[in-house]
Homo-oligomer: A and B are copies of this chain.
Amino acid sequence: MSTPIKALVWGEFRHEKKNPKVAAIYPQGMHETIAGFLRKEPDLQVSTAWLDQPEHGLTKEALASTDVLLWWGHMAHGDVADEVVERVRRRVLEGMGLIVLHSGHYAKIFKALMGTTCSLKWRESTDKERIWNVAPHHPITAGIGDYFEIPAEEMYGEPFGIPTPDELIFISWFTGGEVFRSGATWQRGSGRVFYFRPGHETYPTYHQAQVQRVIANAVRWARPTVCIPDNCPNSAPLEPLPADAEAADRPTEGHR
């Protein structure tokens, strides 16, 4: 446990440039705020990347040296290159952890890993969000207690178009009368995926201690223990088979 966990925080970093309200809350960008609180954790080594960098900052090399990728995107999901999405997906299936934040529910990478619509109800207003811990045994909820509150947040409501999570971690209560599965995990290949709902750009959510704690816990939880590249091998038998009169004609190459 002595080598640090390499976390890469990816931000869309566009709202901050266009909307003064967002810039006031996150002057260096949301990704820098997230990276900032993670950098206080001694076992994490944190870098950042964003949409308008070459290859969105997600080069093969950058991903190869990433243990856990955190993803915040919203207005520009469509601007993320399909080739980069596929590269990230491959790394998750090999073992890299992925933490998808808030509006990232509609990010190409999340939809690609879930296979479903990932749709939901939403409302930007004055709702309070109370996030209930339904998995008090889980490492992601360490130190969180029974629930915590975010004074004002965008509402997300059910039904949420996801496959049944492996583990349901949080359920949110909203003032306006809705509920939402706000924290959930899925194993995808050798990689662990965690979706965490809070974090609309017009609220100071990522400055809140409990939100920071959940995200730091999740980075540790999502740390890979293996890296297993995809393959689909032709395999020799381990037990004797009957003689094969047609052996010479059998394909030994290629599932496509």
In the complex the two chains form, what is the Cα distance from A233 to B161 in whole Å? 13
A155 surroundings in chain B (CB, below 8 A): 235, 237
Q: Quick one: closest B residue to A149, CB to CB?
A: B238
CB–CB A93/B178 < 8 A: no
Q: In chain A, residues 106-124, which have Cβ atoms closer than 8 Å to a Cβ of chain B?
A: 106, 112-117, 119-124
Copies of this chain present = 4
In the complex the two chains form, what is the Cα distance from A235 to B161 in whole Å? 16
Q: How many residues of A contact B (CB 8 A)?
A: 84
| A→B interface (CB under 8 Å) | 1, 75, 77-78, 89, 93, 95, 103, 106, 112-117, 119-127, 130, 132-137, 139, 142, 146, 155, 157-161, 163-164, 166-168, 171-179, 181, 186-191, 225-226, 228, 230-239, 241-244, 247, 250-252, 255-256
A122/B77 contact (C-beta < 8 A), A115-B113, A161-B93, A225-B139 known: no
| CB-contact partner of A119 in B142, B230, B251, under 8 A | B230
- Shortest beta-carbon distance, A126 to chain B, in Å? 5
